[in-house]
Structure 1
Amino acid sequence: MRMVNAITGMPIAAWIAWITMAACVLAGCGESAPSRDVWEEALSAKHTGLAYLYRNDLDGAAGSFESVARLVPGEPLGHANRALALLKLQDYEQAAASVDRAVDLAPEDGEVLSIKSDIVAARGDREAALGLLAHAVGHNASDVVLRYKYLTEMRRLRGPDLQEEDALAELQAMLEYEPDNLAVLVELNEILVRLDRWREASAGYRRMAGLLEPVPEDIQTWLDRTLDALDRRDGAEAESSAGILGNLLVVDPAYRASRDRLGDPSQQSPPLYDFRTAPPDLEAVAADALVDMAFVDAGDEWMEGNLSEEEQWTDLALADVDGDGRLDLALAGRQGLTVLSNPVDGRETVSSPWSGMDDLVSGDAVFRLVPGDFDNDGDMDMLAAGTSSPRVYHNEGDGTFGLAQTLDPGTGPMYFDSASRVDFDHDGDLDVLASNRSALRFFRHTEGGVFEEATSATGFLESVSGVPGGIAESVSADGVSAGGDSADGNFAVPPAQPLAWGDFDLDGAVDVVALFDDGAHRLYRNLRQGRWVDWTERFGGIRWGGAKTVAAADFNNDGALDLFMAGSAAEGCRLLWNDNGRRFDGEDTLPAFGDACDGLDAAAVRPFDFDNDGFIDLALAGHSEPGLSGLRLVRNLGNGAFEERADLLPVLLSAIEDVEVGDLDDDGDLDLVLLTEGRPMVLRNDGGNANGWLKVQLAAALEGSGKNNFYGIGSTIEVNAGSHYQSLQVDAAVTHVGLGSRETADVIRVIWSNGVPQNRIDPESRTLIVEPQRLKGSCPSLYTWNGDRFVFVTHLMTRSAIGALTETGAPAWPDAANDYVKIRGDQLRMRDGKFEVRVVEELWDAVYMDKMELLVVDHPGETDIFVDEKYLPPPYPDLEIHTVTDPRLPVAALDHHGNDILSALAARDSLYVGDYRLGDFQGVPEMHSITLDLGDLKGAERIHLYLCGWIMPIEPSSNLALSQRNNVAVIPPYLEVPDGRGQWRTVIPYTGFPSGEHKTVFIDLTDLFPADDYRVRLTTNLELYWSEAFFTVDEPVRNERRITRLSPDTADLHYRGYSREYRTAPYGPFIRDYRVLSGEPQWLPFEGYRTRYGDVTPLLRASDNRYVIYSSGEEIKVTFDAADLPAPPPGWTRNFVLHTDGWLKEGDLNTATAATIEPLPFHGMADYPYGPESRYPDEAGLRAYRNAYNTRWVSQESFRNALRLHGPGR
């Protein structure tokens, strides 16, 4: 945590700066300070300007920061940030004037001087720019970002003349201020190796290993080799091994976090985020004063007469089980399970029937209820776990529930007292993790709300300290929890909650914290593809042996999930702050709760915002010492401070078995439902709705998607209202958001559980957000200059999907794409003597573009040319150009319903064939076919079929889900012909399919017809849409043509943004309009070193592992010199073929190493990702390429912090 003033909540540096400014004003050394209203206006303009910068709207940014400078002319931020915007607009003169004013106001401010150095460098004086950075470092010695920029500029300017000792001195200085910075240590160690300083290098690598505990296997392999070479004084081997080790480390989270802290010196300086001279409380993070509110016992109006006195309950849950939008109450007890519906104005006893109850009900049954849509059909089901085997009940939609499955732990009888459900493996459905505090069991969803035990394949610990599976030690033989009985001994306190889930390391995937009775608590990091690793030692902080209960929430509104942990009555509780996804830190939070936890043996913890002030509070329930309440209410004051508010509660018993939170009366504030002595009790929140509030409900697509579970459990909702930011994880059908004194929110950003972001501007107080139906990964878009504008042609390199999973769960092929696509002559025209194309990555992909080549194909005007643009598994074929002189339409065409589709297939237009029922997953509908009658072709020697269409791709996460199912399989297209005996015969088992949009599939039908019946049937359950079908008969083997190959003349890499996406027809593909642009980043970035912006021409001229690395929102502008290209002969016409080679990696959460650019692919690799014995070639030329080109570090932080730091913007 950064140091803050305990009173104001401002950073200490900002507090000191403000005091200095105030003293200056009082001494008469400047104009009078702006009023509070003026500062508020300037704050709003700052937020808008930062949002414009983030969206790459530079004119808007310059205007907003000009407003800041006008409102508070003595504040450097407005002047400096305006200068930065003008620099990006290449208005160097105005930028220089603006930054000079900022320097006058803050002559030693490192961030201001860094912006000035950028402007000076842009005007051509790089030596002066370097001098400015040296001056800045002299006044800001501890600023490692500034020092690293200074070192990078020295290397860039001095080149080989820079002495290694000088670089070493700078790195050593950085380590003095950040001794645990792994990225700095890696660079320093590599220099020590090159200087033959063996002993220092060896000590440095051992120090580095200490920062990596536990050391991953592949890193350990090359670390050992490096140390061995150093011990043997083998300089060449040590340098080679150290280089490979450094490349491997780029993927490691500890390295990436360290590298993030150094910034990206290859780019222009970041803006100033914090005012230097504003009042300390202008952007205070403290909560507002508590509104007039209290929790009132509402038992008479909610429970009177609804439950008999004989009924005793062991757990309760709130969920809308009847789909009317109101929370119902589910109860579990020794008599079974029941649901009471909620008509809002009071509870109505409606005991919903549950099947399978005869063997469930027993005198010793103790249950925990976990609601969730386990079969993903849009209604709430229920999981019951406890001293009977866990059961899953499906909501039948008619007021009844059916027993769907009794979960089998795979080791004989084993009972669980706690379970969590979320889409743990991010494949679009809910999974279950169960605990008895001695063992874990992972139940993976397979199909239709049915689960299979899969713990051994996940990395979760199956048992702790030798305790085998069986009845949990926490539950005694009579079914009463070891947590203790109530006063009369009849009611069990359910065990504490030992599981918490969330994206703790901020990499987009669900991690898990699990508490165990022996105190050996663990944090499991999600490695994707259904695997986790014990990350406890790396993340730290959770080894508090006294912890029995854990809950996760963002308590300080910084976008990272913190952990609340509670122990026994004697142990108390503590809060562990999440340090930006790097580790937990609880050292300064021990006294934060005062006596709120004293004497309480907590069994349930519920984070919630009871006063709607925008800060997460806590309700703690359990056993208290006699005379003390069993329910504690803790208010979050902001700034890391909390206070107990017992005065807001009625008098309660000392034993509260459970507490649940929800807006029962639908009035905008959260009520409480308690379980005390086996009886439910409602505490109505009166007055919490005096503050603003928001209810957000997510709804995933139920058909043709399969990307998210229906309620979006596991998604993240971010809310920005003015300067106030919150981040909440979705754990129920409706997420309640407090807005404090603000009546409305400016913007909501949802990060769905599959990683796809979605924004909603000016949301209503009750907001339904439906999952967007959009592509998230597909390949870069090709745009060409048609003489008037740039037009979308198709997607490129769709054959490659390294790291992805296939529908069988096997990894995708690692081969480079080697892709050829046709560009029609009317799509590409000469511009200033050159052909110009733009290749833009606009989806969630990383592109490794190794080669581009334009083939100019001149041919007689009466013919046309095509290339086979289908996907088939490798080896991918070389180029073959097919010529067509006489295309013929089928005489008839039918779909699988028998409908006439010939008119839809007559031309390559916006009419597509696609009348079939979608399935559970995108890309996998029902089986469907097209049947084409080619007419009488007796005597034909060669028959070639051409089909044009597109495919809706199956995403890697859906492939993971498909690999876990038995009720659906992917059937690639196969082709059948009549066998002459009334049946169909398969003649091509796998025809391939269009590899993207507007792609042509060539199928050779020669000699495939056993009878004089020239019909063909193409069948699949891939989501294929066909636009055109024609065939040729006896075309010449080789028509006359002339092919000229052009290499790139120029190629420039830069940021562009995102073109507008739309569909031309109901069954048409997603295409883009290049003229309509959004500059705002849309996807979580791949982290790592990308190719620096600028000239990349040499990287695209050969397939040689020297490629352009770029990703979402970035574009390569490529020109091909046509000055010497002869015109087509008279009567001829011209078309083109674009050849690209390279790889593509999707950002899908179940793509291997999807979070990072590394490991780098290379030609000839056998797998991706590859193991420690395989590596990107370690050659001098390739090392030089990486050092010269791949210098742009891209972090995920800017995207994660977009709403929090950049404000709402407009």
Structure 2
Amino acid sequence: MNTLFRPESAVILLAAVAIVGCEDPPESGTVARGTADADHRRAAGLLSRYDYDDAVQLLSTVVEGDPGRTDARIDLAIATMNRQEETDEADALAMLDAIHAESPDDPRAAYLSSVLHLRAGNDEIAATRLGRLLDVDDADPFTWYHYGLAQERRNPIAAVAAYRRATELDPYQRSGWYRLGSVAARLGEDDTADDALATFERLEDNPRARTVRPIYGRLGPKSMARPGGDGAARGARPEGGPWSPPVPLSVLGATPAWSTGPGARVPSVADLDGDGRLDLFIAEALEGDAPNLVLLRDEDGYRPTIHHPLAGIEDVRFAAFADVDGDGRTDAYLGRRGPNRLFLRTDAGDWVDATAASGTEDGNHDTTDARFVDADHDGDLDILLANADGPANLLNNDRDGGFTSIADRIGLNVATDGVRVLSADLDGTRDLDLLVIRDAPPHLVLLNDRLWNYRVDDVAFEAIRRADLVLATSGDLDGDGVMDLVTGDRSGAIHRWERNDAGVFEATLLHSFDAPPANLAMLDPDGDGRFEIVTNSTLGLEDTANWTPLLEDSRRGFAALSMPATGEATPMLVPPGPGRFDFTAVELAGGDDPTQSIRSNPDGLGAILAARIDDVWTITANLPPDAGPGQSRQPVPFGLGGAPTISYLLVDWPDGLFQGEVPGLGDAMSTGPSLAAGSVDRIVETQRQVSSCPVLFTHDGEGFRFVSDVLGVGGVGYLLEPGVYSEPRPFERFPMPANALAPDADGRLRLVLCEPMEEVCYLDAAELVGWSLPEGWSLAVDERLAILGPPATGAPILYRTTLDPVAATDNRGEDVLASVRLDDLKAAPLPTLDHRFIGRLAEPHVVELEFAAPIPTSTDDRRPWLLMDGWVEYPYAQTMFAAWQAEAAYEAPTLEARGADGVWRVVQEQFGYPAGMPRTSAFPLDGIPEGCDALRLSTNQEIYWDRLRVVIGEPAPPEAKRVTVPPTGAKFSAIGFPRRLDAPQRRPDYDWTDRTPVWDVRHQRGRYTAFGDVLPLLETADGAVVTIGPGEGVELVFDPPPDAEKIHWILDTHGWCKDRDRFTRDGETIEPIPGEDRRDEAANMLLESHRTRMEAGR
């Protein structure tokens, strides 16, 4: 199940979850020993969930009770070093050095102590211990990697050899490839460097890739806890073959009137009645007025339903099934000889013909294939079509119930005489490309450059375009994380296409049959976690019109449902054979609440699933595993290879978000998926905020607390519509809430700017500006995300007069005065959300404010301002693209004022809004009419108004004093991910005291600022920025003036931010670094001298 509150990264849980259980181990002789074993195992479980402090406490008890338990002592050191309190690393090193002195042959003590000596700068000690360790065990890539680190300064040639050995042992160790490339470059070994760094970049999005970091789970097997007790043993491979002989499908009741004519006879699989069982649809299998066979499965078997609405549609070639409208139910698209038909299933169980209303008939063609696919990654399902007597088509989902053809726009209309379509990531760029197989070459390959831009002439695919193809499918045949294209031709040859050294695709013959197969699928037939090519010959089928995979039993894996090419159209079943391991199965959903906005399409089609089963990876895409025609809707099975469960599952969703799932580890709402043999787990995408802006924590004298975020106005590359991006403002002056900032025990002011999301912050400068004001005076700032009208200046607003509304109503006639008079984080209620688009309302939200007396108009020394406390739910770039397609505009707040004559006048259309999490924004009321005693705000954005009021800005009183406090310290480090707490009305909050070292996010590719002292980079706004990635933060320290707690503080920040959304311009890299217009030669040298840390992906 999805993790609603704290999505823990499954990457870190790999080894611990595989070896740790929560049950007590078997009796070991004494009750005390058994209790200690149980506590040790529980501590290992705590480590796997990042509960380091609790693990330290529990392991301390175990060690105190039995100081001779060396493994427990080492695990205590592991827990201590990961806890990362002030002296923890030094304490852990002392523990490990003591164990190493007692047991110099203990590999874990030698390895872990070496890692900590490296972090302490003791390279020689580390090199000596690691060298001895390699003399005994030279097959551990993590030891080789750290041996390379220990040798880099003293003997770079030896370091290169060590990194080369590490990457030979583990070709997916990205850290090893990066260090190999970097050191080889310094030695002038350019070819080695280029190859290594190219491999490092190529592995960025590979689920198997790993980075080495001083974090639990990232340092290899010698760094993992080792509690007592044996893990679950893997079962032996069952005897027999993977497939049983074909048998007629058992159909309940009277024998149907099987067709003997030359109909389509194409089977598809889906749950057609919502009962959780998979039903069958077979086009043109019967004689009579209901030519399509609909078999609904019940507890007894398959029961024909001749009166089903889908059964009587004539001239159907195939069916494609998916949840088109996002209501959780199966919908059907029937490809026909003639206009196609779209049927939507209602909550009452009826099937409604939505063809005319949706515009999905695609003319009067002979349609040979169709696939539901989120071609543009905007979160809905489009329809890709091939026609035998006309052009191919892509019907774009407009999210208003209608579809629009974009074939002409993207160049798809040139593909006439189509036979099959395929949607897959053909070029390895994390989006779905399109292949249309024509009756004769050339075929059409459209490479997705996003935003409806496709390339058709990439020379790397020329051989594919010219090949003799009739079928195609895609999947990961060898578990390397790269999707392989497999095709069949008219001669019966099956080829796998791979890039050669020049990057051009070449065919490798896999199998050769006497005739072209009826279908081609990439399946795991024996449950060992490895995919194989399956055809009708593999299944022992003869005279086959078509067949399709069928998951009748999630424990047994795919069966096959086949239709004969001649004679009676009697369905044949190829059951799973006896020689299979057990399977588990997963079904994905982009969301499970139709009233909420989602980012991925309803069926999660296009997601990449990577299952780790002990030490084996199985990687697949959530796309049809076969070549069609049509499309089934059924769970994705995973062979367990004799293991009882998947160790952990990684999901790379179509919207680019990353999610990890571990058996039994859920959240406050669920226990998590079982991922066990025979289960079918529904995994819903976690609807979490993965980008916003840098988050601000301040020290209030007792500890750090969450305040808000900053620099949301500085977002770069944010898409408004294709070709149009927002213009960032590279500064924000944030007024601190009262009591948010106070001296700590050492008399210092401290704050942290960090990135707990999937984005990068380019922090250029930061300082505190304080105002000491007389009693009765307050401070605001001219800040907002300005859309139209005057820009926000960041200037202070000093005031002593506040006009609160005496009445407030919304456009539904509800009294909302109590919600907008106090800044209590309880905002005015909103109307219904537009579930299609994040951050948009289904109808405008209007708030009218009445004041007891007219608002004064502006004079030379008195200026009225509207102050707005609140927060906004930002749409992502992906959301903006989807809304642009649907012509669904986001309308920022418009301000109207009522004059003395009772007439409402527009003061400013779309003036702006609070730029992020809870904050105070302001807008000048220069344009209000005389006698204005009421204001009206209207918007269709998801903006939460907490407090609304008018203040009168005045010049600074004589007693006022302004002070500027630059930072005296700036420490940059991997602070981890503070736990996010989702309050009502989507109000974010964070718990600084509960931080996890990793999360389900990825770094944008590039060279980041090195950890350590970054004060020189932040002293002036000169473009020499600190690049802050996910889980990283800068702690700023200030020497406060006297009476600091009485000062009104403004945090003056300069910088930018950029998220990793698929539609953000250059969103997958940190380049280009903004601020080029600010950087002189000295600032550029300063910037580059600190950018020595390479990050990319996980």
TM-score, length basis structure 2: 0.78
Counterpart of 1:685, as a letter, is: P
C-alpha change, 1:978 and 1:847, in structure 2 (3 Å) is same
Counterpart of 1:1046, as a letter, is: V
Question: 2:254 aligns to what SS in structure 1?
Answer: coil
Question: 1:960 aligns to what SS in structure 2?
Answer: helix
Q: Does 1:960 align with 2:881?
A: yes
Which of 917, 924, 932 is the matching residue for 2:849? 932
Counterpart of 1:932, as a letter, is: L
Question: 1:551 aligns to what SS in structure 2?
Answer: strand
Q: Where do 1:470-619 residues align within 5 Å?
A: 472=417, 495=419, 497-502=420-425, 505=428, 507-520=429-442, 524-534=446-456, 536-538=458-460, 542=464, 545-568=467-490, 570-576=491-497, 590-591=509-510, 593=511, 597-619=512-534
Which of 59, 77, 94 is the matching residue for 2:81? 59
Q: CA deviation at 1:1051?
A: 1.9
2:437 touches 2:469 (CA, 8 Å); kept in 1? yes
Question: 2:962 aligns to what SS in structure 1?
Answer: strand
Q: Does 1:683 align with 2:573?
A: yes
1:367 maps to what in 2? Answer: 317
C-alpha change, 1:141 and 1:1069, in structure 2 (3 Å) is closer
Question: 2:880 aligns to what SS in structure 1?
Answer: helix
Counterpart of 1:379, as a letter, is: R
Q: Which stretch has the larger CA shift, 1014-1023 or 310-319?
A: 310-319
Which of 145, 154, 159 is the matching residue for 1:133? 159
Q: What is the rounded CA distance, in whole Å, between the counterparts of 2:332 and 2:109 in structure 1?
A: 55
Counterpart of 1:720, as a letter, is: R
Question: 1:632 aligns to what SS in structure 2?
Answer: coil
Q: Where do 1:788-807 residues align within 5 Å?
A: 788-806=702-720
Question: 1:976 aligns to what SS in structure 2?
Answer: strand
Q: Where do 1:1080-1099 residues align within 5 Å?
A: 1080-1099=998-1017
2:248 maps to what in 1? Answer: 299
1:36 maps to what in 2? Answer: none
Question: CA offsets per residue over residues 343-392 of structure 1, 9 Å max, x none?
Answer: 242222224655998xx74xxx4623221222223222222335434443
Question: 1:1071 aligns to what SS in structure 2?
Answer: strand
Q: What is the rounded CA distance, in whole Å, between the counterparts of 1:613 and 1:147 in structure 2?
A: 30
Counterpart of 2:133, as a letter, is: A
Counterpart of 1:59, as a letter, is: M
Q: CA deviation at 1:551?
A: 0.9
1:868 maps to what in 2? Answer: 782
Q: What is the rounded CA distance, in whole Å, between the counterparts of 1:992 and 1:1158 in structure 2?
A: 29
Q: CA deviation at 1:1134?
A: 0.5
C-alpha change, 1:987 and 1:376, in structure 2 (3 Å) is same
Which of 910, 913, 935 is the matching residue for 1:990? 910
1:191 maps to what in 2? Answer: none
Q: Where do 1:846-925 residues align within 5 Å?
A: 846-873=760-787, 876-920=791-835, 921-925=837-841
Q: CA deviation at 1:613?
A: 3.0
Q: What is the rounded CA distance, in whole Å, between the counterparts of 2:234 and 2:437 in structure 1?
A: 31
2:607 maps to what in 1? Answer: 715
Q: Does 1:836 align with 2:750?
A: yes
Q: What is the rounded CA distance, in whole Å, between the counterparts of 1:97 and 1:302 in structure 2?
A: 72
Q: What is the rounded CA distance, in whole Å, between the counterparts of 1:87 and 1:978 in structure 2?
A: 69
1:344 touches 1:666 (CA, 8 Å); kept in 2? no
2:550 maps to what in 1? Answer: 662
Q: CA deviation at 1:680?
A: 5.2
C-alpha change, 1:1188 and 1:534, in structure 2 (3 Å) is farther
Q: CA deviation at 1:872?
A: 0.8
1:425 maps to what in 2? Answer: 376
1:376 touches 1:710 (CA, 8 Å); kept in 2? yes
Q: What is the rounded CA distance, in whole Å, between the counterparts of 2:202 and 2:457 in structure 1?
A: 11
C-alpha change, 1:503 and 1:274, in structure 2 (3 Å) is farther
Counterpart of 1:676, as a letter, is: P
Question: 2:517 aligns to what SS in structure 1?
Answer: strand
Question: CA offsets per residue over residues 628-682 of structure 1, 9 Å max, x none?
Answer: xxx223xxxxxxxxxxxx5xx5xx432x222122223666532222122372514
2:825 touches 2:946 (CA, 8 Å); kept in 1? yes
C-alpha change, 1:87 and 1:1013, in structure 2 (3 Å) is same
2:666 maps to what in 1? Answer: none
Q: CA deviation at 1:687?
A: 5.4
Q: Which stretch has the larger CA shift, 726-735 or 549-558?
A: 726-735
2:798 touches 2:953 (CA, 8 Å); kept in 1? no
Q: What is the rounded CA distance, in whole Å, between the counterparts of 1:137 and 1:978 in structure 2?
A: 72
1:344 touches 1:664 (CA, 8 Å); kept in 2? no
Q: Which stretch has the larger CA shift, 1106-1115 or 729-738?
A: 729-738
Query: How many pairs are equivalent?
Result: 972
1:1028 maps to what in 2? Answer: 947
Counterpart of 2:742, as a letter, is: R
Structure 2 residue ranges without an equivalent (≥5): 1-41, 54-77, 84-88, 224-230, 624-632, 664-672
1:782 touches 1:795 (CA, 8 Å); kept in 2? yes
Which of 725, 730, 735 is the matching residue for 1:822? 735
Measured on the aligned residues, the alpha-carbon RMSD in Å equals: 4.8
Q: What is the rounded CA distance, in whole Å, between the counterparts of 1:51 and 1:578 in structure 2?
A: 40
Counterpart of 1:930, as a letter, is: V
Question: 2:1089 aligns to what SS in structure 1?
Answer: helix
Which of 616, 632, 637 is the matching residue for 1:724? 616
Structure 1 residue ranges without an equivalent (≥5): 1-43, 156-166, 185-249, 276-281, 475-494, 621-630, 634-645, 1165-1175, 1200-1210
Q: Where do 1:1006-1017 residues align within 5 Å?
A: 1008-1009=928-929, 1014-1017=933-936
Q: Where do 1:319-330 residues align within 5 Å?
A: 319-330=270-281
2:1091 maps to what in 1? Answer: 1190
2:19 maps to what in 1? Answer: none
Q: What is the rounded CA distance, in whole Å, between the counterparts of 1:151 and 1:348 in structure 2?
A: 63
Which of 364, 382, 385 is the matching residue for 2:335? 385
1:846 touches 1:1112 (CA, 8 Å); kept in 2? yes
Q: Does 1:1001 align with 2:951?
A: no
Q: Which stretch has the larger CA shift, 95-104 or 1132-1141?
A: 95-104
Question: CA offsets per residue over residues 8-33 of structure 1, 9 Å max, x none?
Answer: xxxxxxxxxxxxxxxxxxxxxxxxxx
1:802 touches 1:814 (CA, 8 Å); kept in 2? yes
1:1160 maps to what in 2? Answer: 1073
2:403 maps to what in 1? Answer: 451
Q: Does 1:309 align with 2:258?
A: yes
Q: CA deviation at 1:136?
A: 5.5
Percent same amino acid at aligned positions? 21
1:376 maps to what in 2? Answer: 326
1:671 maps to what in 2? Answer: 559
Q: CA deviation at 1:993?
A: 0.9
Q: What is the rounded CA distance, in whole Å, between the counterparts of 2:662 and 2:1026 in structure 1?
A: 36
Question: 2:528 aligns to what SS in structure 1?
Answer: coil
Counterpart of 1:671, as a letter, is: A
Which of 632, 646, 671 is the matching residue for 2:537? 632
C-alpha change, 1:744 and 1:666, in structure 2 (3 Å) is closer
2:82 touches 2:216 (CA, 8 Å); kept in 1? no
Q: CA deviation at 1:309?
A: 2.7
Which of 668, 676, 697 is the matching residue for 2:587? 697
Q: What is the rounded CA distance, in whole Å, between the counterparts of 2:104 and 2:457 in structure 1?
A: 49
Question: 1:860 aligns to what SS in structure 2?
Answer: coil
Question: CA offsets per residue over residues 142-173 of structure 1, 9 Å max, x none?
Answer: 99998985885699xxxxxxxxxxx5xx43x3
1:541 touches 1:583 (CA, 8 Å); kept in 2? no
Which of 690, 694, 699 is the matching residue for 1:780? 694
Question: CA offsets per residue over residues 687-718 of structure 1, 9 Å max, x none?
Answer: 56963322222231422313121121112222
C-alpha change, 1:666 and 1:151, in structure 2 (3 Å) is closer
C-alpha change, 1:289 and 1:356, in structure 2 (3 Å) is closer
Q: What is the rounded CA distance, in whole Å, between the counterparts of 1:577 and 1:154 in structure 2?
A: 29
C-alpha change, 1:136 and 1:670, in structure 2 (3 Å) is closer
2:555 touches 2:583 (CA, 8 Å); kept in 1? no
2:17 maps to what in 1? Answer: none
1:746 maps to what in 2? Answer: 647
Q: What is the rounded CA distance, in whole Å, between the counterparts of 1:319 and 1:864 in structure 2?
A: 64
C-alpha change, 1:542 and 1:53, in structure 2 (3 Å) is farther
